[in-house]
Amino acid sequence: MSDNILSIQNLETDYSLGSGGYVKAIRSLNLDVRRGESIALVGESGSGKSTLALSIMRLIEKPNKIASGEIIFHDKDKDISVLKLGENGLRVFRWKKVAMIFQSAMNILNPVMRVENQFIDTFEAHNIQDDYSERINKYLTIAGLGEKVRRLYPHELSGGMKQRVSIALALSCEPELLIADEPTTALDVVVQREILFELKQLKNKLNLSIIFITHDLSVASAVADRIGIFYAGRIVEIGRKEDVINRPAHPYAKLLLGSIVTLSTPRGKELSSLEGTPPDLSKEITGCSFYERCPSHVKQCLSYDLKPLKVGEDHYVECLRAQELLDSED
């Protein structure tokens, strides 16, 4: 069995602008998700992180498309090339191998079906043999809900409860990989913490691998073993949580960390902020995409071939000056 559960190679996903133009939302992306790990992909709006989730699940619809690349799911005994799967293969792949939790539970819950029927729907599509009722109860409990939720309709549930139902649904076919796309953004602080805390415990209990997508570095640092920083369709820094948080190598990551306000941020301290806007992804970008906004850019950055450079144990970054800047900080 391979160490990795998912390997993404040179993935390119395009969004159509109509009249022939394309926005390259994901640009030649490479990522290995290890078995049993929880990896957080952090990026701001438009960085491409949600697109990656949709690409893995093959939810990119015409006229948008996955232009090129490979997504390999390393199942127990064989490798599955996700991009080559047909209808039937996809049905097995989705939910039994990889399941997804969306930002808004409304995206996954059918508003005119009772909760238990949504499970039954899923089970039938996946040829689950065991007793449906038992399974439903099992996963509702795992997600922190009581049995009486079964007969309710989604609109009768609070935001937190809806999200828990989505989690239960996602786990109910016992996938190996879970993709969570901003699952707690729309929720209150206390509920968010509850759900994240429980997700972390679930991961260990159920032996899951999780890809966690978020714009919030604090959320990422709470749930993840590794963190990947997304910018302009690529992962510009990736490493262990402690390393990325405490010793960020990419200038973007540094600015991002500096702009976070915590309870210990002194009042009146000027927060680091980013000027300008992310690059236009419908145009060709040569060299480093962060060049315009980077406080440490130099001429060579424009001809950088974006090969990841190692700056620490299991810590890689796409920045020419990263090592040099890190050395000067120590």
Q: Would you tell me which residues interact with other proteins (CB under 8 A)?
A: 44-45, 144, 157-161, 188-194, 196-197, 215-219, 221-222, 245, 251, 254-263, 265, 267-268, 270-277, 295-296, 325, 329
Q: At closest approach, how far in Å is the CB of 160 from other proteins?
A: 7
Q: Which is closer to other proteins, CB of 87 or CB of 284?
A: 284
Q: At closest approach, how far in Å is the CB of 218 from other proteins?
A: 4
Q: Which is closer to other proteins, CB of 106 or CB of 274?
A: 274
d(Cα 256, Cα 270) in Å, to the nearest integer? 14
Q: Which is closer to other proteins, CB of 309 or CB of 326?
A: 326
Q: At closest approach, how far in Å is the CB of 143 from other proteins?
A: 13
Closest CA to 52 of 171, 203, 213: 213
Q: At closest approach, how far in Å is the CB of 11 from other proteins?
A: 23
Q: Is 132 exposed, middle or buried, given 0-12, 13-18 or 19+ CB atoms closer than 10 A?
A: middle
Q: Which is closer to other proteins, CB of 79 or CB of 242?
A: 242
Half-sphere exposure of residue 161: CA atoms within 13 angstroms, side-chain side:
14
Q: At closest approach, how far in Å is the CB of 44 from other proteins?
A: 4
d(Cα 204, Cα 37) in Å, to the nearest integer? 9
Strands in the chain per DSSP E: 4-16, 22-34, 38-42, 65-74, 79-81, 98-101, 177-181, 209-214, 226-231, 234-240, 309-312, 315-317
Q: Which is closer to other proteins, CB of 6 or CB of 311?
A: 311
Number of other CB atoms surrounding residue 275 within 10 Å:
8
Q: At closest approach, how far in Å is the CB of 217 from other proteins?
A: 6
Q: At closest approach, how far in Å is the CB of 18 from other proteins?
A: 12
Half-sphere exposure of residue 17: CA atoms within 13 angstroms, side-chain side:
10
Q: In this structure, what DSSP letter does residue 219 have? A: H
Q: Classify 233 in phi/psi space as left (phi over 0), alpha (psi -120 to 50) or beta.
A: left
Q: Which is closer to other proteins, CB of 113 or CB of 245?
A: 245
Q: Which is closer to other proteins, CB of 219 or CB of 288?
A: 219
Structure tokens at 45: 């709006």
**Integer-rounded Cα radius of gyration of the chain:** 21
